[in-house]
């Protein structure tokens, strides 16, 4: 049951990343990093359950969370950059 819920959550994250990347092209890199981090954390759970490798689980979990965090930082930086640019209407 946990694997089904985790897989469903990953599908939601991947679909959201794809939708957001198509909607806002400047956030493609951030969305790819977040989706990659989600895939890596999902693989860490699979690694733990199939191979019973707790060290590998911990390492891949840290890498996955780091990718997600960097993705959020990239999205925030892109948003801040876009909000700091003057509007074309104001420049006239």
Average pLDDT, the chain: 80
Neighbours of 55 (CB within 10 A): 9
- Helix-strand-coil split of the chain, %, nearest 5: 90, 0, 10
Mean pLDDT of 77-83: 73
Compute the distance between CA of residue 55 and CA of residue 59 in angstroms, rounded to an integer. 6
Rounded to whole angstroms, what are the CA distances from 57 to 23, 26, 38, 70, 76?
34, 32, 14, 20, 29
Confidence of residue 5 (pLDDT cuts 50, 70, 90): confident
What pLDDT, in 10s, does the model give residues 24-66?
777 888 888 998 998 888 878 777 777 767 888 888 899 999 9
pLDDT score, position 57: 83
Name, in order, each residue with C-beta under 8 angstroms of 91's C-beta and a sequence gap of 6 or more. none
């Amino acid at each position: 049951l946990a694997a089904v819920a985790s897989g469903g959550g990953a599908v939601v994250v991947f679909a959201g990343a794809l939708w957001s990347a198509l909607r806002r092209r400047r956030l493609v890199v951030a969305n790819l990093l977040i989706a990659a981090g989600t895939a890596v954390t999902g693989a860490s759970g699979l690694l733990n359950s199939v191979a019973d490798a707790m060290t590998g689980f911990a390492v891949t979990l840290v890498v996955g969370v780091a990718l997600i965090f960097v993705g959020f930082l990239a999205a925030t930086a892109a948003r801040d950059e876009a909000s700091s640019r003057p509007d074309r209407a104001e420049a006239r």
